[in-house]
Structure 1
Amino acid sequence: MSTPAPEQFDAEIERRVAERTADLSELLGHMVTCWDDERRQLARKLHDSLGSSMTALTMHLSLLTQQMPQEKVLQNRTAQMKTLLMNIINTNRDMQLAIWNDKLEFLGVKAALTELVSEFGAEHNIVARVSLPEEDAGYPREHGVALLRTVEEGLRNVLAHAQASEVDVVLDDNDEEIMLTVRDNGVGPGNYDRKARDCHGLRLLRERAQYLGGSLSVSPLPGRGTALAIILPREQQEAPADTPG
């Protein structure tokens, strides 16, 4: 049996590595999509079950309070119970939003991004602006999630590393691509440490973009600042079929 030439051996190794890399990338993309679905279902359960129960308890407590003797001690205790219930309701709502932003599903990408950027600027005293297309295009849900996660990660990096006073989120599209950029006037990616630039959040975003047929990049802006950009194909690519096992 003849021994393969070195060139053939190298080509076979490269082929196997490429196939293995593609398989791992597809698996990671599938896992991220499943993770999104699980978070969405969990948030819905928190809303439908716990949220509804807390609201019902608040209504029952209000009716009970109206029928109780007008004693100060009892009125103070019921007021404390109402406050406690409202705190639980608000905490439950915050948890739901942290797990899954339902505005993305019910109101669309524009509403979700507008609220996210506005709340970020107000909470951290940073000038935060958002520029969106006039029409709210019906992006596939996986694309909308990727755009929202990109903005979330970009804002986290601005807050943690950029030392910026301004941030702009720009969403645009054409017949072929969806383009979103998060840019700031901070210190720039060259001054981040390697751990910040290669953090798992960005790596997952990059894999998510590639799984959807797009790309993600982090680059310095002329003069000062950083741009985090994701580009996705306008038409959703068909995901590989699940295999049993």
Structure 2
Amino acid sequence: MDEGSVSAGFFHALFEDAPLGKLVLDLGLHIVKGNSQIAILLKRKKTEILGLPLTALIEPDDLQTHAAWLESLRDPESLPEPASLRLRHEAGPLWCLLRPARIVSQESDAPVILLIVEDISQSRDESRQWQQERRHLQLLNELLLKGLVQDIRPAETAQEALSLIINNLSVLRGEMFILRQQKLSVLALAGYVESDLTKRQTQVEQRFQQAAVQHVLESGKGLTVPDVNCQDYWLPIPDLDDEICSVAMLPLMANKRIIGVMSLLSDEANYFTEERLPWLTAVAATVATSLNNANLIFQIRRGRERLQQLTGRIVRAQEEERRRVSRALHDETGQAMITLQLCLDGIRSELADENPLQEKLAEANRLLVETSAMLGRMAHSLCPPELASLGLNAALESLCEEYARHVPYAISYIGSSQVEDLPEDLGISFYRCLQESLTNITKHSQATQVQVTLRASEDEIILTITDNGHGFPLVQLLEEEVNSVTLGILGMKERFESHKGHVDIQSSPDGTTLIAQAPRPNTDA
């Protein structure tokens, strides 16, 4: 209301009959008038509050936080914004919104302050409840996200979930028990002193025999104990549960079967009530989903690790077999070919030059030389000697030169001298990758140019192979039936995954680029 005089009738209508509580204060902030609604609001007679300072109606804590606001009410030039504070009430502090206005007293024509007092306790309770529900939803969301996006062990997932629950609820401690082969074991504990965990875990295991835990396991339904002193369903463990006042026991359900039990312990009496059970059950279900996801991810990861170990053993066995065959071709078969050639030469020398067998022996000798050369190339391909004697860079360059002599496309090679200290199995993987790629290019790409680049840094080695052929639909190819190309690509990928690296292939109608990357092994380890 604007500052100024008003008629007595109009003032009565605005003041006495108003639906909200109203107070009139002098500039000393003493109450000079109050309407019926303020008396109802405060549950006090109007005569009891007349003459009291406004501060007598305000909770002491709010007097300190709103001291500046109260002082600004005395300023005749301006009025402060409305303020929310607590008034004294027989049932406890009452949240009210105080809106000040300046008017002129009918009795003295002096300026006075009109305070409109509105009870906002219900709206604050609703807001607080909404905020609590919002925090609950955020908690559920965080619990679910942890199970979906994190690649950690189930025990670590359980530990993080319990810590998250403790930080967001009035929970002092949390315990999670997992069911394996019809037996419970402790999966995670939270809220206990780290140095006491081993001792506490032994104590917590006594919980397995409690009726509350057995009830949850048998029924698959949660239960709450609002006050541990008023029941015999949950018995406190001496020297462990001395501070506990309220308990919730919740089933961990995944895929319609119980996988464990979660125990939440609060030092606040009547915190875990029957009304909270549906929401607590939802929390437990979310935790169970996260645990199940973490277990699946862990099993997949462990399976991949085993597959990589198996792949590594297979690759090593293949390379060992290739070395054995290469030695056999070079030593035994090569020696036999030399002996055979000497025999043919001996036979030719004993025959007259005009003997018709001379021409046939010459043809046999030519075929023998070609076969010996072919066997030599096979032995070299199976186990390139340059890799062991000169290193990866020289071996790759030699391989490019060898292919260039027999293929209809040009090959250029840019190498790196910083790869001479690589482990043998990693060097072999890069060599086989280039070998397989050049074979595929020769058979399928119709390329005219191939660029091979080997780069090395302190952290990684990268081999890049680019051709200008017609490319191929990689995804479609890998989805089709297994053939030599798909086996080769999958073999390359598995090789480099065993080195914690990877193989990326990008193909288009203008050509294909293959990038094989592996981290440089730590030679200091």
**Normalising to structure 2: TM-score of the pair?**
0.41
Match status 1:234 vs 2:520: yes
What whole-Å deviation, never above 9, does each CA across 1:91-121 have from its counterpart, x for those lacking one?
3223324433334334433333223223434
Q: CA offset at residue 45 of structure 1?
A: 1.0
- Report 1:105-144 matches (<5 A): 105-134=388-417, 137-144=420-427
Q: What SS does the aligned partner of 1:199 have?
A: helix
Range 98-107 or range 4-13, more displaced: 98-107
Q: Please give the alpha-carbon distance, in whole angstroms, between the structure 2 residues aligned to 1:19 and 1:172.
A: 32
Q: CA offset at residue 209 of structure 1?
A: 0.6
Q: Which residue of 2 aligns with 1:242?
A: none
Match status 1:203 vs 2:479: no
Q: What SS does the aligned partner of 1:29 have?
A: helix
Q: Check 1:85–1:163 CA distance in 2 against 1; reply closer, same or farther (3 A cut).
A: closer
Q: Please give the alpha-carbon distance, in whole angstroms, between the structure 2 residues aligned to 1:161 and 1:66.
A: 48
Q: Which residue of 2 aligns with 1:84?
A: 367
Q: Please give the alpha-carbon distance, in whole angstroms, between the structure 2 residues aligned to 1:85 and 1:158.
A: 30
- Report 1:110-189 matches (<5 A): 110-134=393-417, 137-188=420-471
Amino acid at match of 2:458: D
Tell me which of 52, 62, 65 is aligned to 2:335: 52
Q: Check 1:192–1:141 CA distance in 2 against 1; reply closer, same or farther (3 A cut).
A: same
Q: Check 1:236–1:140 CA distance in 2 against 1; reply closer, same or farther (3 A cut).
A: farther
Q: CA offset at residue 122 of structure 1?
A: 4.0
What whole-Å deviation, never above 9, does each CA across 1:158-193 have from its counterpart, x for those lacking one?
33444432110001212222211101223455x556
Q: Please give the alpha-carbon distance, in whole angstroms, between the structure 2 residues aligned to 1:81 and 1:187.
A: 42
Same amino acid, percent of matched pairs: 26
Q: Which residue of 2 aligns with 1:36?
A: 319
Q: What SS does the aligned partner of 1:235 have?
A: coil
Q: Check 1:174–1:216 CA distance in 2 against 1; reply closer, same or farther (3 A cut).
A: same
Q: Please give the alpha-carbon distance, in whole angstroms, between the structure 1 residues aligned to 2:289 and 2:458.
A: 46
Tell me which of 377, 401, 413 is aligned to 1:94: 377
Q: Please give the alpha-carbon distance, in whole angstroms, between the structure 2 residues aligned to 1:101 and 1:194.
A: 34
Range 149-158 or range 75-84, more displaced: 75-84
Q: What SS does the aligned partner of 2:422 have?
A: coil
Whether the aligned pair in 1 keeps the contact of 2:503 and 2:514 (CA below 8 Å) is yes
Whether the aligned pair in 1 keeps the contact of 2:330 and 2:376 (CA below 8 Å) is yes
- Report 1:57-76 matches (<5 A): 57-76=340-359
Q: Check 1:88–1:23 CA distance in 2 against 1; reply closer, same or farther (3 A cut).
A: same
Q: Which residue of 2 aligns with 1:219?
A: 506
Q: Please give the alpha-carbon distance, in whole angstroms, between the structure 2 residues aligned to 1:77 and 1:66.
A: 14
Q: Which residue of 1 aligns with 2:476?
A: 194
Relative contact order (C-alpha < 8 Å, sep 6+): which is higher?
1
Whether the aligned pair in 2 keeps the contact of 1:212 and 1:236 (CA below 8 Å) is no
Amino acid at match of 2:486: C
What whole-Å deviation, never above 9, does each CA across 1:19-73 have from its counterpart, x for those lacking one?
1122112211221121111111111111110101111222343244334444432
Aligned residues: 235
Match status 1:24 vs 2:307: yes
Q: What SS does the aligned partner of 1:186 have?
A: coil
Q: CA offset at residue 79 of structure 1?
A: 1.9
Q: Please give the alpha-carbon distance, in whole angstroms, between the structure 1 residues aligned to 2:388 and 2:437.
A: 21
**Normalising to structure 1: TM-score of the pair?**
0.81
Q: CA offset at residue 140 of structure 1?
A: 2.0
What's the Cα RMSD here? 2.8
Amino acid at match of 2:453: V
Range 36-45 or range 132-141, more displaced: 132-141
Whether the aligned pair in 1 keeps the contact of 2:461 and 2:518 (CA below 8 Å) is yes
The structure with the largest alpha-carbon Rg is 2
Q: What SS does the aligned partner of 1:226 have?
A: strand
Q: Which residue of 1 aligns with 2:237?
A: none
Q: Please give the alpha-carbon distance, in whole angstroms, between the structure 2 residues aligned to 1:57 and 1:77.
A: 15
Return 5+ residue gaps in structure 2 as ranges.
Answer: 1-216, 218-250, 252-257, 260-287, 480-484
Amino acid at match of 1:233: P
Tell me which of 288, 294, 299 is aligned to 1:11: 294
Report the structure, 1 or 2, having the larger helix content.
Answer: 1
What whole-Å deviation, never above 9, does each CA across 1:177-218 have from its counterpart, x for those lacking one?
2211101223455x5562169812111111111112222111
Return 5+ residue gaps in structure 1 as ranges.
Answer: 238-245
Whether the aligned pair in 1 keeps the contact of 2:393 and 2:417 (CA below 8 Å) is no
Range 72-81 or range 210-219, more displaced: 72-81
